[in-house]
Amino acid sequence: MSYHGFPLFRLNSLQVRYWLAGGDFRWLIARTVSKTYRTGVVILSPTLHAIGTVDPSGNTQDLPPPHKTFQMWEITNKPSIVYNECACRNYYDPEVQGPWHLRDKERKMDRHHPFCQFDRVAMPTWKQSYRTGTERLVAHVNPQTRPDEWLRTSNEQAQK
């Protein structure tokens, strides 16, 4: 099946569980999506793999593996790329003991949180921070890192 021209709708992990379980929850997801997108839609998992389709009348169909992968910018319900409209602006920052956006003037930059899922280098940054935290714990040192270290790691990952 060709996905060209069909909207791509990303489900969150809980919605994917309901989708895979079938039944009334799947029917509700399909009805909502089919009313929003009248041409039919391709259903994507949180990892952006096509797992099913919904036709304009709300009928669902599972797609067999291997599942085609799409990019974040291709989906219809993608987050805003504008940094100040992203949900990561409200992530907790331990240095100000409040939301991430409170330190914009201090950092003299407008940017996403280093662990924001919509930033391209977020996953490698998180893996690096997790690995160094585990190493610190083994060495009996405080495993937590400062947000400045998160930024440094994020910048290093972006340059690779």
In a domain, 153, yes or no: yes
User: What is the model's pTM?
Assistant: 0.55
Residue range 133-157, pLDDT digits in tens = 778 778 777 766 666 677 777 778 7
Q: Are residues 155 and 89 in the same domain?
A: yes
Instruction: Residue 108: give the domain boundaries.
Output: 83-159
Largest CA distance in the chain: 59
Per DSSP (E only), the strands in the chain are: 8-10, 41-44, 50-54, 60-62, 92-93, 98-99
Helix (H, G, I), strand (E, B) or coil at 69: strand
Q: Say whether pLDDT at 32 is over 70.
A: yes
Is 2 inside a domain boundary?
A: no
Q: How many residues does the chain have?
A: 160
Q: Residue 3 domain-assigned?
A: no
Per-residue confidence band for 37, with pLDDT thresholds at 50, 70 and 90: confident
Checking if the pLDDT of 85 tops 60, the result is: yes
Between 101 and 18, where is the model more confident? Answer: 18
Whether residues 147 and 92 fall in one domain: yes
**What's the total number of domains in the chain?**
2
Do 52 and 88 lie in a common domain? no
Average pLDDT over residues 40-67: 90
Question: Are 48 and 26 members of one domain?
Answer: yes
